[in-house]
Amino acid sequence: MTVARLGDRALFPLLEPRAYLNHAGVSPPSDPVRRAAQEAVDDFARRGGDAVGAALERRGRLRGRVAALLGAAPSDVALTSNTSAGIQAVALDFPWRRGDRVLLLDGEFPANVTPWQQAAGLFGLEVAFLPLAAFLRSDEEGLALLDAELARGVRLLAVSAVQFRSGLRMPIAAMAARCAAAGTQIFVDAVQAAGCVPIDVRGIDYLAAGAHKWLMGPLGAGFLYVRPERADALVPRTAGWLSHEDPVRFLSEGPGLVRYDRPIRRRADLVEGGGMPEAPLAGLLASLEILLALGVPAIAAHVGSYLDLLEPELVARGFRSLRSRRTEGRSGILSLEPPPGLGAAVLARELRGRGVACATPDGALRFAPHWPNHPAEIPEVLRAVDGALGRR
Q: Is residue 176 part of a domain?
A: yes
Q: Is residue 101 part of a domain?
A: yes
Q: Is residue 271 part of a domain?
A: yes
Q: Is residue 253 part of a domain?
A: yes
Residue 366 near residue 334, CB atoms below 8 Å: yes
Sheet containing 365-367: give its strands across: 320-321, 334-337, 365-367
Dihedral of alpha carbons 8, 22, 206, 237, sign: negative
Q: Looking at the structure, do residues 73 and 25 belong to the same domain, yes or no? A: no
Q: Is residue 1 part of a domain?
A: no
Q: Looking at the structure, do residues 69 and 137 belong to the same domain, yes or no? A: yes
What does the alpha-carbon distance between residue 363 and residue 381 come to, in Å, rounded to a whole number? 20
Q: What is the pLDDT of residues 290-309, one digit of tens each?
A: 999 999 999 999 999 999 99
Q: Which of 291, 308, 336 is the last residue of a domain?
A: 291
CA distances from 300 to 40, 68, 293, 332 (A): 30, 17, 14, 7
> Residues 6 or more apart from 217 whose CB is under 8 A from it?
27, 29, 33, 211, 280, 283, 284, 286, 287, 288
β-bridge partners, 224:
78, 208
What does the alpha-carbon distance between residue 170 and residue 162 come to, in Å, rounded to a whole number? 6
Residue 389 near residue 317, CB atoms below 8 Å: yes
> Residues 6 or more apart from 52 whose CB is under 8 A from it?
none
Q: Is residue 343 part of a domain?
A: yes
What does the alpha-carbon distance between residue 136 and residue 171 come to, in Å, rounded to a whole number? 11
Q: What's this model's pTM, rounded to 2 decimal places?
A: 0.96
Q: In which domain, by residue range, is 310 found?
A: 19-29+295-388
Domain of 353: which CATH number?
Answer: 3.90.1150.10
Q: Looking at the structure, do residues 97 and 64 belong to the same domain, yes or no? A: yes
Domain of 110: which CATH number?
Answer: 3.40.640.10
Tell me which residue of 42, 195, 188 sits closest to 111, measured CA to CA: 188
Q: Looking at the structure, do residues 331 and 212 belong to the same domain, yes or no? A: no
Q: What is the pLDDT of residues 175-204, one digit of tens each?
A: 999 999 999 999 999 999 999 999 999 999
Residue 392: per-residue pLDDT: 40
Q: Is residue 8 part of a domain?
A: no
Q: Looking at the structure, do residues 24 and 102 belong to the same domain, yes or no? A: no
Q: Looking at the structure, do residues 41 and 140 belong to the same domain, yes or no? A: yes
**For the chain, how many structural domains are there in total?**
2
Residue 1: per-residue pLDDT: 67
Q: Which of 258, 291, 324 is the last residue of a domain?
A: 291
Q: Which of 256, 291, 326 is the last residue of a domain?
A: 291
Kind of pairing, strands 206-210 and 222-226? Answer: antiparallel
Q: Looking at the structure, do residues 224 and 127 belong to the same domain, yes or no? A: yes
Q: Looking at the structure, do residues 243 and 338 belong to the same domain, yes or no? A: no
Q: Looking at the structure, do residues 65 and 24 belong to the same domain, yes or no? A: no
Tell me which residue of 55, 34, 181, 158 sits closest to 107, measured CA to CA: 158
Q: Looking at the structure, do residues 210 and 166 belong to the same domain, yes or no? A: yes
Residue 249: per-residue pLDDT: 85
> Would you write out the chain's pLDDT as a tens digit for each of its 392 residues?
689 999 999 999 999 999 999 999 999 999 999 999 999 999 999 999 999 999 999 999 999 999 999 999 999 999 999 999 999 999 999 999 999 999 999 999 999 999 999 999 999 999 999 999 999 999 999 999 999 999 999 999 999 999 999 999 999 999 999 999 999 999 999 999 999 999 999 999 999 999 999 999 999 999 999 999 999 999 999 999 999 998 888 888 878 889 899 999 999 999 999 999 999 999 999 999 999 999 999 999 999 999 999 999 999 999 999 999 999 999 999 999 999 999 999 999 999 999 999 999 999 999 999 999 999 999 999 999 999 998 54
Q: Looking at the structure, do residues 349 and 323 belong to the same domain, yes or no? A: yes
Q: Is residue 4 part of a domain?
A: no
Q: Looking at the structure, do residues 60 and 154 belong to the same domain, yes or no? A: yes
